[in-house]
């Protein structure tokens, strides 16, 4: 049994704690927040075997440049002089090609499918009560251009064995009879499931506490002590922990922590927003509103509209024009849905940890014998939480991991 310290109580840190504890280790989770904020509470709750295309794909560079100066567009890069951003953008540019997409697609699909299965396995655990539904995901489009674009992804997904059907507006209405969508059509990916993030996180916390995991909130790790190639201690303002193994799963903050111990990681924050609507919407099937790039999820007791990708550094500042853009998109696709001023006022943001090539970083850091890095999951961190946790446990236990970890190495070249 090892004493494993996990820095970060988001979905990645908590799932890692789950698998380490299940394997018999003593686990301590340290989180600087109140354990109720951050990307893992803001996301759309999708478990997405359907999302086979990495964020770094052809077309994204042009789209980024096109949208760069529009503060209400779905994708926004705040122009700023940052060497880290320039370095990340260069790596992103090098990855946004078909050769990389072809290599990454099967990796992403397999990781997502395995992770989704782990969520469903957890759901069967009587002690672990949370909302999980498998109704698939609609990729809904209003223009033929968007439909044709998605058709290419559909063909690739079908070639991988995923079930996808093409629906006209009447068929969508049949599937979801309580609200009408103003669309040209939709592709229905049957493989996806959805959940309610804050409910899962709270169930996970209770479960881990019951299993003897120690969870310290409002505990920001300020220093990491080393001796040669060994991490010897982790310090917060008031406590000092001596780990046998340290797992850094600190989302967008991972880069700064690693920098303290001489490790460089190409990582940027991709800010997104969510609006919760507590009034009935009639929406019962999750959908991505393709042209607007807004994700819609019928969660437990409310509907969530989530979107935008804003590269503006580490901050959770709410830009009202972005929230308005999400609300306007909702109205365009669901004419009967009303988003109140109150719902918009209560919108919050979260930051996706973005690697430049759209693949997560999961693996041991070469420089230290007892350090594992788990971050960079970008738009798929919610979906990939459980499989990441399992892989971290396998790395620490020295057993053959379920997946080839070379493409996920924190030291990979772009
Ligand atoms: C709008 C939006 C929609 C999304 N939708 C989806 C979706 O539908 N499906 C999907 O799969 N993914 C989705 N994502 C992405 C997903 O939410 C993220 O990839 C995921 O939550 C990242 O989890 P994490 O644990 O790495 O990071 P976080 O959730 O950010 O957790 C990191 C934690 O580390 C803690 N921390 C940081 N530094 C320190 C320190 N020094 N000491 C102590 N603690 C520290 C922080 O307090 C934080 O709690 C979405 C994201 C957004 C923003």
**Spacing, Cα 56 to ligand 1 middle (Å):** 19
**Spacing, Cα 282 to ligand 1 middle (Å):** 29
Atom of ligand 1 nearest to the CA of 252: 30
SS3 at position 246:
strand
- Total domains, the chain: 1
Q: What is the pLDDT of residue 35?
A: 84
Atom of ligand 1 nearest to the CA of 273: 1
Atom of ligand 1 nearest to the CA of 349: 53
Give the residue, by CA position, lying nearest to ligand 1 atom 15: 379
**Spacing, Cα 193 to ligand 1 middle (Å):** 19
**Spacing, Cα 12 to ligand 1 middle (Å):** 8
Q: What is the pLDDT of residue 327?
A: 97
**Spacing, Cα 394 to ligand 1 middle (Å):** 22
Yes or no: say if 405 and 29 are a contact pair by the CB < 8 Å rule.
Answer: no
Ligand 1 pocket list (CB less than 6 A)? 7-13, 30-33, 38-40, 42-46, 48, 220-221, 249-251, 253, 257, 272, 274, 295, 306, 350, 352-353, 375, 377-383
**242: in domain:** yes
**Spacing, Cα 97 to ligand 1 middle (Å):** 26
Mutate to test the pocket of ligand 1, among 250, 304, 359 (most ligand atoms within 8 A of CB): 250
- What span, in angstroms and rounded, lies between the C-alpha atoms of 222 and 240? 10
Q: Residue 234: which domain range?
A: 3-408
Q: What is the pLDDT of residue 65?
A: 63
* Structure tokens, 134: 């498998």
Yes or no: say if 17 and 389 are a contact pair by the CB < 8 Å rule.
Answer: yes
Mutate to test the pocket of ligand 1, among 31, 118, 381 (most ligand atoms within 8 A of CB): 381
- What does R_g of the chain's alpha carbons equal in angstroms? 21
Q: What is the pLDDT of residue 61?
A: 66
**111: in domain:** yes
Q: What is the pLDDT of residue 57?
A: 76
Q: Which residues of the chain have pLDDT under 50?
A: none
**137: in domain:** yes
Mutate to test the pocket of ligand 1, among 10, 36, 193, 314 (most ligand atoms within 8 A of CB): 10
Q: What is the pLDDT of residue 127?
A: 83
- What span, in angstroms and rounded, lies between the C-alpha atoms of 137 and 254? 31
Q: What is the pLDDT of residue 16?
A: 98
**413: in domain:** no
- What span, in angstroms and rounded, lies between the C-alpha atoms of 290 and 186? 9
pLDDT in tens, 215-234: 999 999 999 999 999 999 99
Q: What are the strands, taking DSSP E only, across 312-378?
A: 348-354, 361-364, 371-375
Atom of ligand 1 nearest to the CA of 30: 43
Within 8 A by CB and 6+ apart from 6, the residues are 13, 16, 17, 20, 27, 28, 29, 30, 247, 249
**314: in domain:** yes
**327: in domain:** yes
* Structure tokens, 204: 């996970």
**82: in domain:** yes
Yes or no: say if 357 and 232 are a contact pair by the CB < 8 Å rule.
Answer: no
Atom of ligand 1 nearest to the CA of 11: 25
Q: What is the pLDDT of residue 53?
A: 85
* Structure tokens, 372: 């594992």
Q: What is the pLDDT of residue 66?
A: 64
**414: in domain:** no
**Spacing, Cα 381 to ligand 1 middle (Å):** 7
CATH of the domain at 267: 3.50.50.60
Atom of ligand 1 nearest to the CA of 31: 44
* Structure tokens, 407: 């493409």
Mutate to test the pocket of ligand 1, among 17, 19, 38 (most ligand atoms within 8 A of CB): 38
């Amino acid at each position: 049994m090892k004493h494993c310290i996990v820095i970060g109580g988001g979905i990645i840190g908590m799932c890692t704690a789950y698998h380490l504890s299940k394997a018999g280790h003593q686990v301590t989770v340290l989180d600087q927040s109140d354990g109720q904020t951050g990307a893992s509470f803001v996301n759309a709750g999708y478990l997405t075997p359907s999302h086979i295309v990495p964020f770094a794909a052809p077309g994204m560079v042009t789209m980024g440049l096109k949208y760069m100066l529009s503060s209400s567009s779905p994708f926004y890069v705040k122009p700023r002089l940052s060497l880290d951003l320039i370095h990340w953008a260069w790596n992103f540019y090098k990855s946004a090609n078909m050769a990389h997409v072809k290599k990454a697609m099967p990796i992403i699909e397999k990781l997502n499918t395995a992770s989704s299965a782990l969520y469903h396995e957890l759901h069967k655990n009587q002690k672990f009560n949370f909302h999980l539904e498998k109704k698939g995901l609609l990729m809904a489009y209003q223009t033929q251009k968007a439909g044709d674009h998605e058709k290419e992804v559909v063909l690739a997904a079908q070639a991988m064995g995923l079930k996808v059907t093409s629906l006209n507006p009447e068929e969508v209405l049949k599937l979801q009879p309580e609200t009408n969508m103003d669309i040209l059509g939709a592709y229905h990916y049957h493989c996806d499931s959805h959940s309610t993030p804050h409910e899962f996180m709270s169930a996970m916390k209770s479960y881990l506490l019951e299993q003897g995991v120690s969870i310290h909130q409002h505990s920001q790790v300020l220093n990491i002590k080393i001796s040669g190639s060994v991490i010897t201690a982790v310090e917060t303002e008031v406590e000092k922990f001596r780990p046998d193994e340290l797992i850094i799963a600190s989302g967008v903050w991972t880069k700064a922590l690693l920098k303290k111990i001489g490790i460089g990681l190409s990582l940027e924050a991709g800010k997104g927003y969510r609006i919760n609507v507590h009034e009935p919407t009639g929406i019962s099937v999750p959908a991505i509103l393709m042209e607007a790039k807004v994700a819609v999820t019928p969660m437990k007791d409310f509907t969530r509209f989530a979107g935008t990708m804003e590269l503006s550094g580490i901050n959770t500042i709410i830009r009202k024009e972005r929230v308005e853009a999400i609300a306007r998109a909702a109205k365009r696709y669901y004419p009967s849905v009303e988003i109140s001023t109150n719902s918009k006022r209560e919108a919050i943001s979260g930051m996706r940890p973005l690697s430049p090539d759209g693949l997560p970083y999961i693996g041991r850091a070469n420089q230290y014998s007892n350090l594992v890095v788990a971050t960079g999951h970008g738009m798929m961190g919610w979906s990939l939480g459980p499989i990441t946790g399992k892989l971290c446990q396998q790395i620490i236990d020295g057993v053959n991991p379920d997946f080839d970890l070379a493409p996920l190495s924190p030291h990979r070249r772009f």
